[in-house]
A and B are shown apart, each in its own frame.
Chain A
Amino acid sequence: MVNNNSPLVLALRRFTRHKLAMTSGMVLLVMILLALCAPLFEIWLGVGANDVNLLNRLQGPSLAHPLGTDELGRDQFLRLLYGGRVSLFVGFTAAVFSVVIGTVIGLTAGYFGGRVDAFLMRMTDSFIALPGLPLLIVIAAIDLSKLGLPDAWVQSESVSLYRIVFIVALLGWTGEARLVRGAALSLREREFVMAAKGAGASHRHIMFHHILPNLLSPIIVAVTLSIGGVILVESALSFLGLGIQPPVASWGNMLTNAQQLIWEAPMQAVYPGLMIFITVIAFNFLGDGLQDAFDPKAEY
C-alpha cells in the first residue's frame, strides 16, 4: 500500500496548481514525444532527415516538407526533430552527470565539514572562477586521438555527443555542489542524524539514507534548471562548429548553416533558435514551479 502523504507527493500536488510550470511541462512532454517519434515522421513523409536533394534546395513550406528544406534540400522539420533528440539527450545526461558530481562533492563537504569542507569548497570556488566558455571551446577542440583513444572510436559519429556531455558535466557541477553542501551542512545538525548514529548507522548510510533523501527536492530543481543551461551551451558549441558535428543534426549546427545563408534565406535561422528558446525557457519555468512547490514559503 502506498501512502499518499509523502512529502514528495504533497509537493507534486502543489505543483499541479502552478499554471505556467504545468504548461511548460506539457510543452516539454510534447517535444519529447515528437523527438522520440522522429523516425515515424520519416516514414510518414517518405524522406530521411539526412537525405540530400540538391534539386529541392531552400524550398518553402509544403505538404511534402512542412517547414521547407535547407541548402542541401533536406527536410527542415525532420532535422528539427532529430536536433531535438540530440539537445534533449545531451541536456538530460549532462545535467544528471553534473548533478551527480556536484552532489557527491557537496554532500561530502557538507556532511564532514571542517578541513574536508574547506578543501572541497576552495576547489569549487576556483572552478567557478574559471572562464567557462573559452575553456569549453578548448576542451571541445582537442584532438582525442592525441589522448591515445582508439581511432575507430574517435572517428565515430556519436563521439561528439559523448564528448559534449562529458565537458559540460565537467564544468557544470559547481552550482549543485554549493547548493547541496549548504543544505547538507544544516541537515547534519538535525537530531535525526544523531539518532541514526545512535541506531548504529555508518557515515555512508547516514549520508545516503538520511541526508540525501532530504536533498531530493533541491536536487530535482537543480537538474531541471541546469538542463536548460546545458542545452544553451550545447547549441552554442555546436553553432561554433565544436559540438555536434554534421551531418548529425542539432539545433546549434543548423543555425551555423543558417548564418551563412542569412542573405539568401533569412527564415532558415528562425526555427532552430525558436526551438532552443522554447525548450530552455520551458525547463526554466518548470524548475521554478518545482521550486515553489517544494518550498511553498519562498517567494520567486
Chain B
Amino acid sequence: MRQYLLARSAQSLVVILLMSFVIYGLIGLMPGDPIDILASEDPTMTPEDVAALRALYDLDLPVYERYLNWLGRAFTGELGYSRLFGQPVLDVLGPALVSTLVLMGTAFIVAIAIAIPVGVLAASKPRSALDYGVNLFAFAGISLPSFWLALMLMTLLCVTLGWLPAGGTAPAGSGVLEQLRYMLLPVATIVIVNVGSYSRFVRASMLEVLRKDYIRTARAKGAGQWRVVWRHGLRNGMIPVVTILALEFGSLFSGALIVETIFSWPGMGKLIFDSIMGNDFNLALIALLLATVLTLLGNLLADICYAKLDPRIVIGEGR
C-alpha cells in the first residue's frame, strides 16, 4: 500500500510538472502580449522601455528557458501579480477557492441527499415507474447544457417572476437568508444536472449488492424488504458510490466554470475564465495549475477510498 501510494504520488508529480510546462507554453500562445498591453496602457513608454521590459521579463528568451526561470521563481514562492486585480496571485486565489468550495460543496451535498434515497428506492423496485423515472432523469441530466438550464432558470425565476437575484453574491454584511437567495440558482443548476446520474449510480451499485448471496440469505431468514435494503444493502452499496463521488470531487474545483461565469459567482471557474479572457497571464497560469493539482489529488483520493473501503482490493497488484 505504501509503495503504491508513493508510486501514484510520483506519477502525479510528473504529470503536474509536465502540465505546468504545457500550460506555461499555452499561456504564452494567448493572443496579445503582456508588454504590449503594458505599453498600450502607458503612453509615456518608449520602444527602448519596451525592449528593456522584455529583457526584464525574459520574453526575449526561448520558451523552455523562460519556463525554467519561472519554475525557479515559483519554487521560492514568487508567483507574481495579477494584472486584473492588481494583487499578488495567491491573494486572489484564496477567496475564489473558498467561494467555489461553498457553492460546489452545497450542490454536492444536496444532490447526494436526493440521490441516495431515490437510488435505493429505485433499486428496491426495479422496473417500477420510479426506476424508469430515475433513468430518464439521468439521461436528461447528462444531456442538458448547463448554461442553457441556467439561462432558463434565470429567465423564469429572475426575469419573469422576479423572485431571485440574477447573479453575483450577496452584499457584504447581509444575513444568511439573503446569501442563500444568491446561491439558490447556481446550486439548483448543478444539482439538476447531476442528481440523475448520481441516483442511477446508487441504484446500480445497490442492485449489484442486492443480488449477492448474503442478501438472499437475509431475505430467506425472513427479514423484511426494508430491513434488507437499508440494513444490509445500503452499507455495502455505498462502496462504489463513495469512490465515484470522490472522483467527482476532484473535478468540482473547476467543473463549475460555466455556472460560475453565468451567475457571476466569484469562484475558481470564473477566475480561470476571466483571467484567460483578460490576458492575466500570471493568474491564469497559477489558477490552471491549481485546478490541475486539485483534480489529480481528487483522483488519488478516490483510488485510496476505493482501496480502503473494499477489503478485496489488493493495491499494488500487477495487471
Contacts and interface: CB of A to CB of B under 8 A. Distances in A.
Q: Do chains A and B touch in the complex (CB under 8 A)?
A: yes
Interface of A: 117-118, 122, 125-126, 128-135, 137-139, 141-143, 146-147, 228, 232, 235-236, 239-241, 255, 258-259, 262-263, 266, 269-270, 272-273, 276-277, 280-281, 284-285, 288, 299-300
Contacts of B295: 129-131
B257 interface: yes
Given A130-B292, A139-B26, A143-B29, A273 B277 contact: no
Interface string B269-291: 10011001100000010011001
A138 B284 contact: yes
B169 interface: no
B159 A263 contact: yes
Contact of B276 (A137, A228, A281, A299): A137
Contacts of A133: 254-255, 257-258, 269
B261 to A, nearest CB: 7
B139 interface: yes
B143 interface: yes
Contacts of A285: 139
Contacts of B139: 281, 284-285, 288
Given A273-B148, A277-B148, A285-B139, A262 B155 contact: yes
A236 B147 contact: yes
Contacts of A299: 207
Interface residues of B, number: 55
Interface of B: 11-12, 15, 19, 23, 26-32, 135, 139-140, 142-149, 151-152, 154-155, 159-160, 166, 207, 250-251, 253-255, 257-258, 261-262, 269, 272-273, 276-277, 284, 287-288, 291-292, 294-296, 299, 319
Contact of A269 (B11, B26, B151): B151
Nearest to A281: B143
Contacts of A241: 277
A83 B100 CA distance: 33
B8 to A, nearest CB: 10
A285 B294 CA distance: 33
A134 B284 CA distance: 10
